Chain A
Amino acid sequence: QKEVEQNSGPLSVPEGAIASLNCTYSDRGSQSFFWYRQYSGKSPELIMSIYSNGDKEDGRFTAQLNKASQYVSLLIRDSQPSDSATYLCAVIESGTASKLTFGTGTRLQVTL
């Protein structure tokens, strides 16, 4: 079975620091990658999508994709306590065109 792997954490960073979240995937043919934020008991909220190698920036968030290494990451600059949540990496695998496969998520704690 194709897999999406994330470190479960918790990842603890002080307020104002950069949080770095990582994700690896097994399907080399995957083309679409998403980062979601999920607060406890709530549904996931899309932070960013990325489709091409390189960096994509949106405000304090930067997604990085390296298809050769099958690796996608999310950087959060100037981390705030409100960023404390679970971050889910999701991938649309090749050949399916329909299924979004999720990692188990990384729990981020931003400390004061």
Chain B
Amino acid sequence: DGGITQSPKYLFRKEGQNVTLSCEQNLNHDAMYWYRQDPGQGLRLIYYSQIVNDFQKGDIAEGYSVSREKKESFPLTVTSAQKNPTAFYLCASSTSDRANWYFGAGTRLSVL
């Protein structure tokens, strides 16, 4: 089945540690996105990529980094510079006409 796979489902970060969230898709989509959701809030865009080896900052990119070395993969690193990383992280991809969007099941990140 085609879809987006995020891992892990739950992740814990220690003080000063970088952690990486995985996002893999087999939908052959060029465009991929990372969103952050805080309790009772909507989704806010962190980074997005429209094509391999290219990505742009979203609205809340500070403290995060991404790479897009393969079409299927768009990992997100939460760096130690992100002082409030506790949130639900969602990866998404879209068709080229942006008419159809697909979301992964999400990763819930907490701070130890």
A and B bind: yes
Q: A residues touching B (Cβ–Cβ < 8 Å)?
A: 1, 4, 6, 8, 32, 34, 41-44, 46, 49, 88, 90, 92, 97-105
Interface presence of B61 (CB below 8 A): no
Interface presence of B1 (CB below 8 A): no
Contacts of B50 in A (CB 8 A): 98
Q: A88 to B43, Cβ gap below 8 A?
A: yes
Contacts of A104 in B (CB 8 A): 40-42
A-B contact count (CB 8 A): 52
Interface presence of B109 (CB below 8 A): no
28 sample A-B contacts, Cβ–Cβ < 8 Å, listed by A number: A4-B42, A41-B88, A41-B108, A42-B105, A43-B90, A43-B103, A43-B104, A43-B105, A44-B103, A88-B43, A97-B98, A98-B48, A98-B50, A98-B98, A99-B45, A99-B58, A100-B33, A100-B94, A100-B101, A101-B45, A102-B42, A102-B43, A102-B44, A103-B42, A104-B41, A104-B42, A105-B40, A105-B42
Q: A32 to B103, Cβ gap below 8 A?
A: no
Contacts of B42 in A (CB 8 A): 4, 6, 88, 102-105
Contacts of A49 in B (CB 8 A): 99
Contacts of B48 in A (CB 8 A): 98-99
Known: A4-B42, A32-B99, A98-B98. 10 other contacts (CB 8 A): A8-B40, A42-B105, A43-B106, A92-B98, A98-B31, A99-B33, A99-B48, A100-B98, A102-B42, A105-B41
CA distance A42 to B37 in the complex (A): 11
Q: How many residues of B contact A (CB 8 A)?
A: 25
- Min CB gap B81→A, angstroms: 22
- Min CB gap B109→A, angstroms: 13
Contacts of B104 in A (CB 8 A): 43
Contacts of A34 in B (CB 8 A): 101
- Min CB gap A58→B, angstroms: 15
Q: A46 to B101, Cβ gap below 8 A?
A: yes
CA distance A88 to B105 in the complex (A): 16
